[in-house]
Structure 1
């Protein structure tokens, strides 16, 4: 260093000579060689850097919060959605959250919410699931607020994207079991993603279906007859749920036209197990959700193909992508004429 600061510029060493001298110093003194930086796992989030901003949603067993992951402490960190179990459910439901984490780790698709990582609580017992944050919320909340600026072509585009995500999920031998507008998140006015995989199950080691052994809460009005009568869930059961979800989209998630309200008109007032019994009777008799006002007949008939009583007669997600894409282009062209 002293040689570099010699007063006479002509007597200062060249950079090449400095490099040579440094190399010689490192050879003679191994302790001054730079040590390799330990690898940091980008999927492990530290709890102390997760700063809660607000609640995003809450269910019977868990909750989702909007947080900023801010290691620098300057409020420039990334916004993330953090899912955790309520303290009262950590013992009974921890396996379910672990399963959801393992499923999301495997999935990477433009129409499925992205897995970011996990965060361990003190003691390493409870864990939190870290996901990408989609600022516009669920379709159930987004569509009523944006009805005037969301045309049929856009609704069909959302439907195509949901089907692409579900087709991808099915190709990996997973069934979602809770597909509904409340579980489809909006990234921007053009893009939606399937979220909430808390009820998702693998059928990799089964016979093409999953049997429910203990179901405390079920979104029964989105369920196919085989789910209600035999607690069996096929890939085709998700197709049925998509038909109901598409119905929600076409009605802009109108609170007066929810599947629960409309089926309530069909089966009459009931509660508990009697609701399921009457719902099964109505579906067995061929009763289905009525065609929404202003819904083109072709679109409604596509929904009906999702609601065939026998699972093997229902349209597939792959076929739905083809049919819906054609319809979207057709209605888009008509609007431009």
Structure 2
């Protein structure tokens, strides 16, 4: 869909580097999401656009284009990234709507769709680096789509180092600053499954981000599995949450 003139609507999300709003195309009336940041602080958003614009998958949120415009009382310039709108919100929102946890068939369906999205990203040489419920969106058809590639890195680019992601979803090798490849996304998927099963983080007793990084990096612990999950579900989690990425 080509975005020409458009009108900004209500804010639907805020992150550390950008704000997400609803928007409407003036010519067609189509609704989409726009993620914006001040132009001088938009390097992460521009990088996300470059990665997303090369991707085409039903399991990854689509990039619809971008522009640079002024808005607000300051009249400053903003970088605007146009994205497919997911009316049901994030997977974390969906968990809340279902009373704080999902049943195992739903967890299995969402996990399968996340894995299909991750497999596609890896086929394109991209690691997500921040898999979690907030970064998975649910479309009007109920299917999950991976979103927010602000932390993503190219597998072949060794110069794209640095700690990326959310501490309580980080894999041990990431928390130690060693590497961040596809195995780290699989660990984060395991933490996301625990989020779907409990409505909370994989490390509920660790509130401080620095403490979380230290525990993930240097303790022998793995997150606790929900007791009500089936044997098959626990076996799958045990395969995701292996401390050795190899």
Q: Which residue of 1 aligns with 2:217?
A: 280
Matched, 1:243 2:204: no
Judge conservation of contact 1:136–1:186 (CA < 8 Å) in 2. yes
* 1:115–1:130 contact (8 Å) kept in structure 2: yes
The structure whose residues are more often helix, as a share, is 1
Q: CA deviation at 1:277?
A: 2.3
CA RMSD of aligned residues (A): 2.5
Q: Distance in 2 between matches of 1:148 and 1:236?
A: 28
Residues 1:155 and 2:89 are matched in the alignment: no
Alignment of 1:115 onto 2:67: no
Alpha-carbon distance in structure 2 between the residues aligned to 1:288 and 1:164: 25
Structure-1 residue corresponding to 2:175: 228
Please state how far the C-alpha of 1:66 moved relative to its aligned partner: 0.6
C-alpha distance in structure 1 between counterparts of 2:143 and 2:48, whole Å: 23
Give, in angstroms, the shift of residue 210 of structure 1: 4.9
The separation in 1 between residues aligned to 2:228 and 2:214, in whole angstroms, is 32
Q: Is the 8 A contact 1:180 1:242 kept in 2?
A: yes
**Bigger radius of gyration among the two:** 1
- Cα deviation 1:134-193 (Å, max 9, x = unaligned): 100001011221359964222211110100000000111101011001111011363111
Does 2:234 align with 1:291? no
Tell me the SS of whatever aligns to 2:139: strand
3-state SS of 1:107 partner:
coil
In 1, the alpha carbon distance for the partners of 2:88 and 2:95 equals 10
Task: Write out per-residue CA displacement over residues 205-254 of structure 1, whole angstroms, 9 at most, x where no aligned residue.
Answer: 44xx9521xx5x74111111111112521111111111111111222xx2
Pair 1:277–1:152, CA change in 2 (3 A):
closer
Contact 1:83/1:129 (8 A) holds in 2: yes
Distance 1:83 1:180 in 2: 19
1:68–1:79 contact (8 Å) kept in structure 2: yes
In the superposition, relative to structure 1, how do residues 249 and 218 fare at CA in structure 2: closer, same or farther (>3 Å)? same
Q: SS at 2:59's partner residue?
A: coil
TM-score normalised by L of structure 2 = 0.88
How many positions carry a matched residue from both structures? Answer: 242
Q: What SS does structure 1 have at the residue aligned with 2:47? A: helix
Q: What is the CA–CA distance in structure 2 between the aligned matches of 1:273 and 1:249, rounded to whole Å?
A: 24
The answer to whether 1:62 aligns with 2:18 is yes
Task: Give the Cα separation in 2 of the matches to 1:170 and 1:126.
Answer: 31
| Distance change >3 Å, CA 188–CA 293, structure 1 → 2 | farther
Q: Secondary structure at the match of 1:67?
A: strand
Does the CA-based 8 Å contact 1:211-1:231 persist in structure 2? no
Alignment match, 2:51: 103
CA distance in 1, matches of 2:166, 2:100: 29
SS state of the match for residue 140, structure 1?
A: helix
